[in-house]
A and B are shown apart, each in its own frame.
Chain A
């Protein structure tokens, strides 16, 4: 069977890199995102470099009928082997502290909409008894920090949702993988002061696809973030409160 992946939030640099890694393996790629003119360019790049079938469509995770993208993609490039949920928005933590609309928007995009897309993908794959759903969460979801807990809470919620979904679908042959990127060299982190080295998106994209092939459950990319987050998890709350993380 021809293999195909639907990428939701395909404008992000991690999504672009993961799409390239799947294309290198011969997968047909359907790119969905907000900037359709730009998606056409990414789609052309995948066709030219890797000789794969591509298509693309405009997609807004917060639109009423966002779930329709799955049937649209199937109509255009055929049965899907997997879905990557890569959209997200860091938002403005400071603003969210005083402006509920901003807090709601961050939680809606990163948790509600991402979880609902995972649910829609699950409804598609479950009767087929095959397929994978990869959701991009974040290390920010592992522990609430004063500097970005609205985003962190929504990503933490997404991690839990994906975990539950993974357990439900495990006996149905559908694999659900949670990706927790650390600092990746993307627009989101560009120029921000950081404690650890940033990873190149290309390496992260390749790591995600490799992990999905191996049917890993939760992957930190780059891998050393698992240790960092373990250490951070051990810091007692009474100490953590005093750190300005």
Chain B
């Protein structure tokens, strides 16, 4: 076979606000994985919103064709696969045997390599931690081309530098993860409307309302007296005894998706349309407060039903801002932040609030104990960047941090204030990759690798 050479291609982050031309290569066999050229970064399905999977002027490896499942034990739920395997693949294989990913982000079109690099979290972080908790082992291809097996017991510092390490320690090649036992493909979910932030916090913190998965949708356009108004949602995998017999089959039936065919006009996303959407959404989500049955797709992956949904934001794309704040400071910090956005009339679909459990061991992992807020914001507004810098200041002041997998604009100094373990990470990274062969637009912006 003739080897696929690198080609020049313009790549963007999922939010499509930032992009750059890179030498793109798509290896189909593992022997092709030798770091070449000045710098390289792996890119899975490109679901990180910012510049984590961009390497302008350098090399980008697409991992989509390194997608073979190497082993799966249906009795233990241990799965070994190449890093380009997606959560969809994992579900298609695992579900019929009663297994589901322990931790899943809001899309199943994410690769295992990407899930490790961003140490992704789901709606269960407050109880069960992040993706990294369920990674048993992985093989890294290092800057010198050597392979290195990493786990909690072998090469532990490298293991914890790679979990959440944004792909900068090496090429994550083979991954071993542990899945969750489930009895049915059904989620028992319950939606409870909250009038304001205080009521929202009450839902999150009252054991009676807690569940394996909890999340809240917040109307970011709500005014001062109803700041934090939204819908609290909770759910868990239904036991067989909870589920009607006709919904117990574990056969995988993915929901069909619609594609947004082209860029929407930029005016589509404005405070009026988004405000109307928010009211409609709030009404539809809170019509019933009784528990209902939901499919896995409807509960975890509502946005996957709309392929290429970022096109709705038109050519300028959008930004996602996600931060986490400690439980102790969240009741003060979150209203400050929501007020900044509301005063700016910053139109946002999908402002999402989740609770997070204790910090994991990943040195650059985002999750820490507290509350995380995420907002999608159209990028067309030029005054957005100064606004977000003001929000950064609030986040730093209250000992919070911003999620790197969503970010394209944080400053190096702000990043360092948010991630106190960054120096430990950098010392490991510099030891393993002294010539900085692994780099991305993000790593240069945050001065994580060579500047």
**Minimal beta-carbon separation of B214 from chain A (angstroms):** 34
Contact of B7 among A12, A13, A48, A190 (CB under 8 A): A190
In Å, the complex CA distance between A42 and B24 comes to 24
The answer for the CA separation of A41 and B9 in the assembled complex, in Å, is 29
**CA gap between A228 and B126 in the complex, in Å:** 57
Give the one of A13, A37, A45, A187 with max B CB within 10 A: A187
In the complex, residue of chain A having the shortest beta-carbon distance to the beta carbon of B29: A38
Partner of B9, one of A9, A38, A45, A191: A191
Q: Is A242 an interface residue (CB 8 A)?
A: no
Q: For residue A198, give the distance in angstroms from its CB to the closest CB of chain B.
A: 12
User: How many angstroms from the CA of A9 to the CA of B9 in the assembled complex?
Assistant: 29
Name B27's closest neighbour in chain A (CB-CB).
Answer: A187
Q: Which of B1, B7, B9, B68 contacts A89 (CB 8 A)?
A: B1
- Describe A's contact surface by its main secondary structure: loop
For residue A91, which residue of chain B has the nearest CB? B2
Chain B CB within 8 A of A199 CB:
no
Binary contact readout B21-40 vs A (1 if CB under 8 angstroms, 0 otherwise): 00010101111000000000
The answer to the question of B392 belonging to the interface, with a C-beta cut-off of 8 Å to chain A, is no
Determine whether B3 belongs to the interface, using a CB cutoff of 8 Å to chain A. Answer: yes
On whether the beta carbons of B30 and A44 are closer than 8 Å, the reply is no
B31's contact among A37, A186, A188, by CB below 8 Å, is which?
A37
Which residues of chain B are near A188, meaning CB under 8 Å?
1-2, 4
A35-B3 contact, Cβ under 8 Å, with A45-B70, A187-B26 = no
B397-424 residues at the A interface, CB under 8 angstroms: none
Alpha-carbon gap, A187 to B29, bound state (A): 11
**Neighbouring A residues of B71 by C-beta, 8 Å:** 44, 48
Contact size range, B: 20 to 34
Indicate if B209 sits at the interface (CB-CB under 8 A): no
B441 at the interface (CB under 8 A from A): no
A187 to B66, CA, bound (A): 13
Chain A CB within 10 Å, residue with most, of B2, B3, B71: B2
The chain A residue sitting closest to B69, CB to CB, is A48
> CB distance B28 to A13 under 8 Å?
yes
Contact A38 to B30, CB < 8 A, known contacts A13-B65, A44-B69, A48-B69: yes
Interface centre among B29, B30, B65 (most CB of A within 10 A): B29
Contact B2 A45 (CB under 8 A): no
* Minimum distance in angstroms from A163 CB to a CB of chain B: 25
Q: How far is the CA of A19 from the CA of B65 in the complex (A)?
A: 15
Given contacts A37-B30, A48-B93, A49-B93, contact A187 B3 (CB under 8 A): yes
Q: Which residues of B contact A (CB under 8 A)?
A: 1-9, 24, 26, 28-31, 65, 68-72, 82, 93
